[in-house]
Chains A and B, each alone.
Chain A
């Protein structure tokens, strides 16, 4: 059981590329921390630095009150689950799990107890003598988890452990990982690029972009109050609608707000209502319906705004300028080509500075 604290952690590669530009994160004892971000944002590098597989250029990595910058991976008391599982192909499931314990000189009887217990929890008991190649993807994934569990480490590290599984299995394993972590109550750091995984697993969510932390906090708090337009559009699917507040149409409705001039307005698709009224202090937009997506419980309406929109802050998952997504419950939807008015109340508006780097309170 341990805290993991990253203090101003930096990583510069010999070529001069700065992968991590000063990260501060504090993961409390038993907490599940998820690092999320687009590919190349440095989240895996950061995890590998915690594991000791990458050197640290600057700052401190502290596991359980001990600075481990110079400590070998084996001596950091961590266990890691790799994306491709990295099981030893020539060893049986049992030996895969026992290997790390044997290297530590643990008594064979104790190893047996631990491996069998882990196998029972992970429902691997009938296949302890099999080789990894005789297992399905999900089973291999569980062996990789088992290898981590038997060590009873202070910290679990997960490097996109579910990305090699199919969609259904991924959801099942996601729930399993969460349950397991709750029960073992072991501090965990989990890397993913899937914002849904991030939202559902995290106690603390760390949104990363370009080697920096964009926002840290409770996943729902981040969802409700994204600190930057990057976070706003990365967390949540479909992404938040972002638009410039410069056009007269929007500026007039936001009169008196800090972002009325040269700012960015964000509204989540589910916060729009199709209505002819304009709520007091809220924002209403006329739209032409371009496309409809019915997914059963909800329907997404893709609309375009009347006037050409100025491009705002480039972010992943961003909508083309002038396009707005509206999520409405059920399957009732306006016809394609119809002209509608959508509106959102004041409390649901997200306002950002013009460069998208700062959240403004309405």
Chain B
């Protein structure tokens, strides 16, 4: 019986390892390819072991860019992506927490219709309303700007809904105690509701940052200048080359670099998550 258990465990672990390999192998390939010589890759003779061009490729990728297609240093693309993702994540959280606060804690005419209106926008993602949104952004002269990249994506029904659900679990007595303690609506929001929402905000930040970072269609549409390009758009442009060889090591290096910030955010915020989850008590 005991031996049986042992064998079963090995089998289980073996299957898990296969799963990990399936997920990790493409990432490994990307990393390896980014250190190889382009000619080798183009010939289909790529080794599965890391090549010797690590520093040179990454230096060129970050500070110079491809010699053919985009010629834009990826460092700059990353900065653009980072600014956009941060603006989207922070903006979404700020807007939605305020609107959720209004909907949950204030009685005003058409409160429920307004809530449903926000709710309905869930069914209208960027792709559906892309033409009118483009028109508005263009008319506001926000093409090729950070504002144009981030603003149209900031309003978020999902986040509003999430905060609304959370606020509704906060006991009414806390609000009443605050009122007796002389805290007005702003004070209550700032002193009580915001600290209590910390965990939710952290969770949302992770999700929204990655969502913002991975935007492709919208940045593709509204940025025309190379120096406003985001990394996701940049990768695509690097691959399509008209009369030259695709510079695969640089493409792969860019892909690896594009992975880093989301990974970093998840790793760093995960700690905050767990701590928040353990501490939360209403």
Q: Are A103 and B171 in contact (CB under 8 A)?
A: no
Residues of chain A within 8 A of B182, CB atoms compared: 74, 100, 103-104
Alpha-carbon distance between A104 and B280 when the two chains are bound, in angstroms: 28
Q: Shortest distance in angstroms between A232's beta carbon and chain B's nearest beta carbon?
A: 34
* A120 interface hit (Cβ, 8 Å): no
A103/B187 in contact, CB under 8 A? yes
Q: Are B181 and A99 in contact (CB under 8 A)?
A: yes
Residue on B with the closest CB to A98? B181
The interface centre, meaning the residue of B173, B180, B281, B282 with most chain A CB atoms within 10 A of its CB, is: B180
CA distance A73 to B281 in the complex (A): 26
By the criterion CB–CB under 8 Å, are B181 and A90 in contact? Answer: no
Closest to B282 in A: A89
On whether the beta carbons of A88 and B187 are closer than 8 Å, the reply is no
In the assembled complex, A79 has its CB within 8 A of some CB on chain B: yes
Judge whether A78 and B171 touch: CB under 8 Å.
Answer: no
- Report the minimal beta-carbon distance from A158 to chain B, rounded to whole angstroms: 13
Contact call B181/A53, Cβ cutoff below 8 A: no
A74 engages B187 (CB within 8 Å): no
1/0 per position for A83-111, CB-CB distance to B under 8 A? 11011111000000001100110000000
Q: How far is the CA of A89 from the CA of B179 in the complex (A)?
A: 16
Chain B 237-282 residues near chain A, CB threshold 8 A: 279-282
Contacts of A129 in B (CB 8 A): none
Contact B179 A86 (CB under 8 A): no
What distance in Å separates the Cβ of A75 from its nearest Cβ neighbour in chain B? 8
Contact A88 B192 (CB under 8 A): yes
A318 to chain B, nearest CB (A): 33
Most chain B C-beta atoms within 10 Å of own C-beta, residue among A80, A84, A87, A90:
A90
For B194, give the chain A residue with the smallest CB separation: A90
Contact of A99 with B282 at beta-carbon distance under 8 Å, contacts A53-B176, A74-B179, A78-B180 already known: no
Task: For residue B200, give the distance in angstroms from its CB to the closest CB of chain A.
Answer: 13
Contact B180 A103 (CB under 8 A): no
CB <8 Å contact, B179 and A72: yes
Per-residue interface assignment for chain A, residues 107 to 150, with 1 indicating a CB less than 8 Å from any chain B CB and 0 otherwise: 00000000000000000000000011100000000000001000
Q: Is the CB of B191 within 8 A of A84?
A: no
Known: A89-B196, A90-B195. A84 touches B173 (CB 8 A): yes
Tell me, rounded to whole Å, the shortest Cβ–Cβ distance linking B109 to chain A: 15
- Report the separation of the CA atoms of residues A88 and B194 in the bound assembly, to the nearest whole angstrom: 12
Interface string of B113-134 (1 = CB under 8 A from A): 0000000000000000000000
Contact of B181 among A52, A74, A131 (CB under 8 A): A74
**23 examples of A-B residue contacts, CB within 8 angstroms:** A51-B180, A53-B179, A53-B180, A72-B179, A74-B179, A74-B182, A74-B183, A78-B180, A80-B177, A82-B177, A86-B174, A87-B177, A88-B174, A88-B177, A88-B191, A90-B195, A90-B196, A100-B182, A103-B183, A103-B187, A104-B182, A131-B279, A147-B177
What 10 pairs between A and B have smallest CB-CB spacing? A100-B181, A86-B173, A74-B182, A103-B182, A86-B177, A90-B195, A133-B281, A82-B173, A73-B179, A73-B180
